[in-house]
Structure 1
Amino acid sequence: MILYPAIDLKGGACVRLLRGDMEAATVFNDDPAAQARAFQDAGCGWLHIVDLDGAFAGQSANGAAVEAILGALTVPAQLGGGIRDMAGVEAWLTRGVARVILGTAAVRNPDFVKEAARAFPGKVAVGIDARDGKAAVEGWAETTEIDAHDLARRFEDAGVAAIIHTDIDRDGAMGGANIEASAALAHAVSIPIIVSGGVASMDDIRAAKACGAPLDGVISGRALYDGRLDPAEAAAFLAA
């Protein structure tokens, strides 16, 4: 399994939100590239980047910060937030992103997601952000009536590289991850599942590895920034 340290970008800085609320943002580092290097130096083999402003605006909004991160890394990074068309997918892959994450587009335009996954094998992931089991879109500002499992099944044979499954109510709250929900999703589809939202300690890391589901990895943000979770320890444990 893989530890994906999260760099969420708002106004060019690394922030963490509480349950997706843009008004409840805490700035942890105003140098995203330096933060990315720190995670890489700790032994993390991937990075998870989210353009929060882009997710709300519907188009990339922190491009300079993302490019600075990519320039600082030798490990691969996945990027989500505001990527809504094929031009955006191709542009970021050309600029060095290893994998793009399509979230709102997966709900609004699933045919586009399937087309992108076919055009760029192994380089397109789907973000399923769920509130009470229902998919949310537009930077989590709107919750739909689409069941997260039903949404995942739409992409079962599309060649999607992974699904990032986030429990919105856990995200940034430091109350522990919803491993059970992610594990259930992993058992429901054959697409690799990445756990996101509320990963607060090594207890969550151990629970993800021991849950019995074929999880691909775990995303963590706030716990890495405030010292509750050591990135080197977590990355090494998951990789063992």
Structure 2
Amino acid sequence: MEVIPAIDLLDGKCVRLYQGDYSQSQVFDENPVAVAKQWVEQGATRLHLVDLDGAKTGESVNLKSIEAIVQAVPIAVEVGGGLRDRTSVATLLNMGVRWAILGTVAVEKPELVAQLCEEFPDKIIVGIDARNGKVATRGWLETSEVTAQNLAQEMAKMGVAEIIYTDIHRDGTLQGPNLEALRELVSSLSIPVIASGGVSSLTDLLSLLALEPLGVRGAIVGRALYTGDVSLKEAIQAVGSGRYQDVPPDLGNSTFA
């Protein structure tokens, strides 16, 4: 299973929010490029970047920081936050971003997701951020009536490469991932799911590793890396090298529909 460090960008700085609350942000480093290099040095094979300003405003804001990170590291970078039209997605992919993560448009403009999956095959990920099972949009400031599971199934049919599932109530809290929700989600999908939110220890990562045969192929870790609760090197050693995306997943006897 792949351990993916998160770099959340707000005003060009590396921050973490508590349960997605912009008023509860904590700056961990003012140089996100240095942070990215640090995770690479510790063995990261992929970075998860979120433009928090973009998620709130609906357009990419931290492009300079994102481009600087992409140019500075030799590993794959995925980016989400404020990607609500073709131009913003194409801009990121053209600067070397490996995957563009769509969130709000998956709910509001699913036809756009289908178009982008066709134009940029294997480069589109949908991030599903759930609050009590319902999908949150616009930087988690609004909650739709769409369920996470229904949206994931719809997006899988459109050809997205992966689903990133975040339980908002766990994000930034160090309370552990929502294993029950993840198990329910992956049981109905035929594409990989990346878990996000709440990872606080190696024990949490090992509990996610138990879900890997069902389709949980990676875990995004944020606050726990910055506070030192999780060592990236130890985490990678504990759950694997994280290079599953280079080979087709072995789904075995799983119950994917």
Structure 1 residue 158, shift from structure 2 partner: 1.7
Q: How many residues align?
A: 240
Name the structure 2 match of 1:217: 218
1:175-205 Cα offsets, whole Å, 9 max, x none, are 1111221122111111210000111110110
Code of the residue aligned with 2:216 in structure 1: it is: L
Tell me, yes or no, if the aligned pair for 1:179 and 1:195 is still in contact at 8 Å.
Answer: no
Q: Which amino acid aligns with 1:111?
A: E
Structure 2 unaligned spans of 5+: 242-257
Alignment of 1:78-227 (within 5 A): 78-211=78-211, 212-227=213-228
User: How far 1:237 sits from its partner (Å)?
Assistant: 2.3
Spell out structure 1 runs of 4+ moving beyond 6 A. Answer: none
Provide the rounded CA distance (Å) in 2 between the counterparts of 1:149 and 1:239.
27
CA–CA distance in structure 2, aligned partners of residues 192 and 7 of structure 1: 21
Shift of 1:110: 0.6
What is the aligned-residue RMSD (CA, Å)? 0.9
Q: Which moved more, 1:97-106 or 1:150-159?
A: 150-159
Task: Give the aligned residue type for 1:68.
Answer: A
Secondary structure of the equivalent of 2:68?
helix
Q: Secondary structure at the match of 1:156?
A: helix
Structure 1 residue 71 displacement after superposition: 1.5
Whether the aligned pair in 2 keeps the contact of 1:8 and 1:52 (CA below 8 Å) is yes
Q: Distance in 2 between matches of 1:194 and 1:4?
A: 9
Gaps of 5+ in 1: none
Aligned to 2:235: 234
- The TM-score normalised by the length of structure 2 is 0.91
Deviations 1:99-119 (A, max 9, x none): 000000100101101110111
Residue deviations 1:88-146 (CA, integer Å, cap 9, x gap): 11110000100000000100101101110111111000000000000000000001111
Alignment partners' CA distance in 1, 2:184 and 2:6: 23
SS in 2 for 1:170: coil
Q: Decide whether the 8 Å contact of 2:16 with 2:26 is kept in 1.
A: yes
* C-alpha separation in 1, matches of 2:152 and 2:128: 8
Report if aligned partners of 1:200, 1:229 keep a CA contact under 8 Å in 2: yes
Any idea what the Cα deviations from partners look like across 1:23-50, whole Å, max 9, x if unmatched? 1000001000000000011001000000
The code of the aligned residue for 1:60 comes to: S
Shift of 1:63: 0.9
C-alpha distance in structure 2 between counterparts of 1:110 and 1:82, whole Å: 15
Residues 106 and 113 in structure 2, CA contact (< 8 A), matched pair in contact too: yes
Q: Give me the TM-score of the superposition, normalised by structure 1.
A: 0.98
CA-to-aligned-CA distance 1:49-91 (integer Å, 9 cap, x gap): 0000000000001111111111111000000000111111111
**What is the rounded CA distance, in whole Å, between the counterparts of 2:176 and 2:135 in structure 1?**
20
